[in-house]
Amino acid sequence: MVETAVLILVGPTGSGKTSLSVDIASALGAEIISADSRQIFRYMDIVTAKPDRDQLSKIPHHFIDIVNPDQPYDAGQYGLDARDRVRVLHEEGKPVLVVGGSGLYIKALVDGFFESSSRDDHFRVELRKRIDEVGAKAIHDELRAVDPVTADRLHPNDVKRIERALEVYHLTGRPVSSLREEPSIPLPWTPVFVGLQWSREVLYSRIERRVDEMLIAGAVEETKKLLRMGYNPDLVSMEGLGYREIADYVAGRTTYERMTELFKQRTRNYAKRQLTWFRKDLRIKWFNMREEHDGLMAEKIVEYWKERRADTGPP
C-alpha cells in the first residue's frame, strides 16, 4: 500500500521534537526521516542533540550520520535523497514521519529546491584564490551583480554560501534566488504539517537548560575530539551552534563563562529565526506545548494526522 500523505513535525531547537517524534512514530508504526542539517554529520552527537541510542533503537531513523564533517552535503541534495527515501519506504508499506527544524531542508523535500547538486571544484579553487587576493567584500559585490536577492540575504563574510551561490550561477547561468522560486516536480503524496509552539520565555529557558546539559554531557570533549581528528573550525559543519564557541574556548580565545553565554545566545537567536521561517508557512497546524509532555500531545497530533490523512483519499 502506498501512502498518500506524510506527517511533518517542525519546530525550533529545544522544542522537544525528538522525544515527541519517537512517541508519534511508535503510535503510527512509522520510520523517521530527519530534516536536520547538523545531525547528518558523523561524530557530532552531543552539540547537535541527536537522538540517543535508546531512541534510535526504538524507531528506525534516516539521514543521521550520513556524511563526515568535511564532506559537502546541501539542501538540494537532501531534497532529492529524502524524496527518494520516502518513495522507497512507502513502497515497502511503511508510514513516514519527517522531523526537523531546518527549514531549507524541509522546503527542499516538500516544495523543491533543486538548484543543482553539481560541483565545479576547479571553479571553487579559482574563486578562493580570488578571495585571498581581493577580499570577501569584492566577491560579495560580484554576487550582488548577478543575484542581488541572494546577496542581500548573505552577510559579506559568509564566504562559503557566497561561493556556492556564485558556483550555481556559473553552472546554470541563473541565480539561486530564481531557481528557488521554480515549481518543482509534484509530490506523489500530501504533506501534513504540525508545529510545536512554546511561549518565548519557556522556550528560551529550555534552550539555556539544554546548553547546560550538553556541556555537562561532554560537549567540550566532543569538540576537542573533532579538532584532534583534523576537522577545522572553519568547516560548515563546525560552524554550527556551539562548536565555534567551544573551539574558541579550547584555543584560549575566550573564557568558559563567555563561551557558555555565547552558546546560549546564538541558540536563542537561531530559534527565533526558525520560528520566523516556519510562521510564514500557513500549512502548519501549531500545537501549544506544556513544560513536560506526558503523551497527550502525541495523541493529539496522531489524531490530527488521522483526520488529515483521511482527507487525502484512499491510497
- pLDDT of 257: 98
- pLDDT of 275: 95
For residues 94 and 223, membership in a common domain is answered with yes
Q: Is residue 184 part of a domain?
A: no
Q: Considering the chain, what is the average pLDDT of its residues? A: 89
Q: Specify the 3-state DSSP secondary structure of 300.
A: helix
- pLDDT of 179: 65
Rounded to 5°, the CA angle 32-34-37 comes to: 175
Over range 144-151, report the average pLDDT.
90
Q: Is residue 249 part of a domain?
A: no
pLDDT over 60 at 313, yes or no: no
Q: Is residue 240 part of a domain?
A: no
For residues 142 and 216, membership in a common domain is answered with no
pLDDT over 90 at 8, yes or no: yes
Domain count, the chain: 2
Residue 79 grid cell: 531534497
For residues 143 and 277, membership in a common domain is answered with no
Distance in angstroms between the alpha carbons of the first and the last residue of the chain: 7
Over range 13-18, report the average pLDDT.
95
Q: Angle between the 136-146 and 121-134 helix axes, to the nearest 10 degrees?
A: 120
Instruction: Write the pLDDT tens digit of every residue in 157-211.
Output: 888 888 888 887 776 677 877 665 554 567 889 999 999 999 999 999 999 999 9
Cα–Cα distance measured from residue 251 to residue 236, given in angstroms and rounded to the nearest whole number = 19
- pLDDT of 18: 95
> Band of the pLDDT at 292, cuts 50, 70, 90?
low
CATH code of 295's domain: 3.40.50.300
pTM: 0.80
How far does Cα 289 stand from its chain's mean position?
A: 21
Instruction: Write the pLDDT tens digit of every residue in 105-133.
Output: 998 899 875 544 456 677 888 888 888 88
Q: Is residue 260 part of a domain?
A: no
- pLDDT of 1: 47
> Band of the pLDDT at 140, cuts 50, 70, 90?
very high
For residues 201 and 304, membership in a common domain is answered with yes
Cα–Cα distance measured from residue 272 to residue 203, given in angstroms and rounded to the nearest whole number = 10
| Full residue range of the structural domain in which residue 290 is found | 5-113+190-230+270-311
Residue 167 Cα distances to 121, 138, 207, 294, angstroms = 9, 16, 36, 48
> Band of the pLDDT at 291, cuts 50, 70, 90?
low
Instruction: Write the pLDDT tens digit of every residue in 26-72.
Output: 999 999 999 999 999 999 999 999 999 999 999 999 999 999 999 98
CATH code of 153's domain: 1.10.20.140
- pLDDT of 80: 86
Cα–Cα distance measured from residue 25 to residue 29, given in angstroms and rounded to the nearest whole number = 6
Q: Is residue 254 part of a domain?
A: no
